[in-house]
Amino acid sequence: MPEFRLYNSMTRTVEPFTPADGETVRMYACGPTVYNPAHLGNFRTFLFTDLLRRALSLAGYTVKQVMNLTDVDDKIIKRATDQKKMVRDVTEPVIDMFFADRDYLRIQPAEHYPRATDFIVEMVDLVRRLEKAGVAYQADDKTVYFAIDKFAGYGRLSRLDTRELKAGARVAQDDYAKENAQDFALWKAATPEDEACGAAWDSPWGRGRPGWHLECSAMAMSLLGETIDIHTGGVDLQFPHHEDEIAQSEAATGKPFARFWCHGEFLLTDGTKMAKRVGNVSTVEDLRAQRVSAAAVRHLMFSTHYRKQLNLSGAALEASIEAVRRVGDFAERLASATGGTAALAEAAEAFRVEFDAALRDDLNAPRAQAALFIFINHANAELDTRGSDMGSLAAAREAFARAVGVLDIVPEQQGVDASLEVWVEQQLAARKVARGRRDFAAADQIRKSLDEKGIVVEDTPQGARWKKVR
The CATH number given to whatever domain includes residue 42 is 3.40.50.620
CB proximity list for 452: less than 8 A, separation 6 or greater: none
Instruction: Round to whole Å and give the CA distance between 299 and 408.
Output: 9
CATH of the domain at 333: 1.10.730.10
pLDDT band with cut points at 50, 70 and 90 for residue 463: confident
Average pLDDT of the segment spanning 168-192: 71
In the predicted structure, residue 421 carries a pLDDT above the cut 50: yes
* Mean pLDDT on 73-100: 96
Claim to verify: residue 315 and residue 434 sit in the same structural domain: no
Output the DSSP codes for 408-437: --PPPPPP--HHHHHHHHHHHHHHHHHHHT
Whole-number average pLDDT of the chain: 91
Same domain, 167 and 134: yes
- Give the least confident one: 99-113, 120-134, 332-346, 415-429: 415-429
Please check whether residues 145 and 203 belong to one and the same domain: yes
Q: How confident is the model at residue 170 (pLDDT cuts 50, 70, 90)?
A: very low
In the predicted structure, residue 103 carries a pLDDT above the cut 70? yes
Whether 174 and 84 share a structural domain? yes
252 and 349 both lie in a single domain: no
The pLDDT, as a whole number, for residue 428 is 86
286 falls within a domain? no
Q: What is the pLDDT of residue 275?
A: 63
For residues 334 and 364, membership in a common domain is answered with: yes
Q: What is the average pLDDT across 397-422?
A: 84
Rounded Cα gap, residues 260 and 8, in angstroms: 5
Q: Which amino acid is at 179?
A: E
Co-location of 28 and 69 in the same domain: yes
Please check whether residues 13 and 63 belong to one and the same domain.
yes
Looking at the structure, tell me whether residues 309 and 247 fall in a common domain. Answer: no
| pLDDT of 169 above 70 | no
pLDDT score of 412 more than 90: no
Q: How far apart are CA 150 and CA 199, in angstroms?
A: 30
* pTM of the predicted protein model: 0.85
Alpha-carbon gap, residue 424 to 422, rounded angstroms: 6
Average pLDDT of the segment spanning 15-42: 96
Q: Is residue 276 a part of any domain in this protein? A: no
133 pLDDT higher than 70: yes
Query: What domain range includes position 435?
Result: 418-468
User: Is 142 inside a domain boundary?
Assistant: yes
Average pLDDT over residues 35-61: 96
83, 232: one domain:
yes
Contacts 24+ apart (CB under 8 A), 337-340: 337/383, 337/393, 338/386, 338/388, 338/393, 339/386, 339/387, 339/388, 339/389, 339/390, 339/392, 339/393, 340/382, 340/383, 340/387, 340/389, 340/390, 340/391, 340/392, 340/393, 340/395, 340/396
Which H, E and C letters describe 334-358, residue by residue?
HHHCCCECHHHHHHHHHHHHHHHHH
Tell which residue, 45, 86, 22, 447, has the closest CA to residue 237.
45
What does the pLDDT average to over 166-194?
71
Residue 10 falls within a domain, yes or no? yes
217-264 per-position pLDDT tens digit: 999 999 999 999 999 999 999 999 999 999 999 999 999 999 999 999
Q: How confident is the model at residue 89 (pLDDT cuts 50, 70, 90)?
A: very high
Is residue 280 a part of any domain in this protein?
no
Q: What is the pLDDT of residues 296-349, one digit of tens each?
A: 999 999 999 999 999 998 889 999 999 999 999 999 999 999 999 999 999 999
CB 64 within 8 A of CB 111: yes
**Residue burial 73-99, b: 16+ Cβ < 10 Å; e: rest:** bbebbebbbeeeeebbebbeebbebbe
CA 467, CA 52: separation in Å to the nearest integer?
Answer: 32
The residue-averaged pLDDT of 405-413 equals: 91
At which of 387, 407, 427 does a domain end?
A: 407
Average pLDDT over residues 144-163: 88
Residue 454 placed within a domain = yes
- Residue 277 has a pLDDT of 52
Q: Is residue 281 part of a domain?
A: no
Q: What is the pLDDT of residue 168?
A: 41
Give percent of the chain with pLDDT exceeding 90.
Answer: 75
| Domain total of the chain | 3
CA 460 to centroid of chain Cα atoms: 38
Backbone φ and ψ of 105, nearest 5°? -85, 10
**Terminal C-alpha separation, the chain:** 40
Residue at 412 is within a domain: no
Q: Do both 219 and 333 map to the same domain?
A: no
Beta strand pairing call for 455-460 and 228-234:
unpaired
- How many C-beta atoms surround the C-beta of residue 129 within 10 A? 14
What does the alpha-carbon distance between residue 317 and residue 292 come to, in Å, rounded to a whole number?
9
Same domain, 230 and 197: yes
Q: Is the pLDDT of residue 5 over 80?
A: yes
Q: Residue 51 above 60 pLDDT?
A: yes
Predicted confidence (pLDDT) at residue 172 exceeds the cutoff of 60: no
What is the distance between the alpha carbons of residues 50 and 106, in angstroms, rounded to a whole number?
9
Cα angle, residue 469 at apex, residues 468 and 470 outer, rounded to 5°: 105
